[in-house]
Structure 1
């Protein structure tokens, strides 16, 4: 079941993340496709970031999800954490698989090679209703933008702990 096992943000963790985030420049790289879903994902990411108050937040818009890795690659040069947000909804052609795989592989490879945490907020859904359910909108059952932002900042905090 989707959403099962989502970690809950505890007060002690939030305090720790605020300390880490205070020095971070964070980029949100978000696709333009599926405007309603994307508005929800961006708002969710911003909601989390408002809780931890990073030093700087910049939003960059990708034409589509396929372009998330290349724009994120430029963002990691100037930011300590990136939140990649997008949505791909299955159609009747293999296009879905190609875009999802390329974006996923590109972001994963970038995170490892750049050693920069990238919050993975790419929704890969069969239907628009599934995307809306995950977008953090009123009536949504999940908030994947919030979760992706949490993942990026929590990873940055662990990296800081590992490298201290």
Structure 2
């Protein structure tokens, strides 16, 4: 957690959009709260919400891909805490590569709201709990919706330049 530089997470007008939120059940106290915050953010932005739960973070990309085919944006939420083995590195790389590939392949924002931390205390500080320094459920959702709006602007301006109606 950098602790500085966040652009803010003020709700955007995403009326008519659908947000798919997929959350891991591993570290349930934290992911349940992150899911609640993501749903609250989507609703504050005027979007509809579809929710799916999976066992752990490794399972997030496959469900995120299915959601990306049906929703305007996807938010993937999970917690991966470093342990004494290389498993942390494999999980983090797999999840990050998978979510990135989905966003690029589907042309839709896929928010990476997976906390990759050294300690459970670091995760608590980012999970949007009372007293947390960050709220990744909320901020990931607003960021994804903001990106979807930017994609719509790009498409509209390209159509206008080419003489197509929007």
TM-score by length of 1: 0.91
1:7 aligns with 2:3: no
Tell me how far 1:8 sits from its aligned partner.
Answer: 2.2
Aligned match of 2:41: 48
Deviation for aligned residue 1:77: 1.2
**Over aligned residue pairs, what C-alpha RMSD do you find?**
1.2
Task: Calculate the TM-score normalised by the size of structure 2.
Answer: 0.90
**1:116-127 matched pairs, under 5 angstroms:** 116-127=108-119
**Distance apart, 1:47 and its partner CA:** 2.3
Correspondent of 1:104 among 89, 96, 102:
96
Cα contact 1:119–1:150 (8 A) shared by 2: no
**8 A Cα contact 2:127 2:134, kept in partner:** yes
Q: 2:9–2:139: 8 Å Cα contact kept in structure 1? A: no
Where is the helix percentage greater, Structure 1 or Structure 2?
1
Q: What is the distance in 2 between the residues matched to 1:79 and 1:60?
A: 13
Query: Which stretch has the larger CA shift, 101-110 or 35-44?
Result: 35-44
Counterpart CA distance in 1 for 2:9 and 2:88 is: 33
Pair member with larger Rg = 2
Q: Distance in 2 between matches of 1:107 and 1:126?
A: 21
Which runs of at least 4 in structure 1 moved beyond 2 Å after TM superposition? none
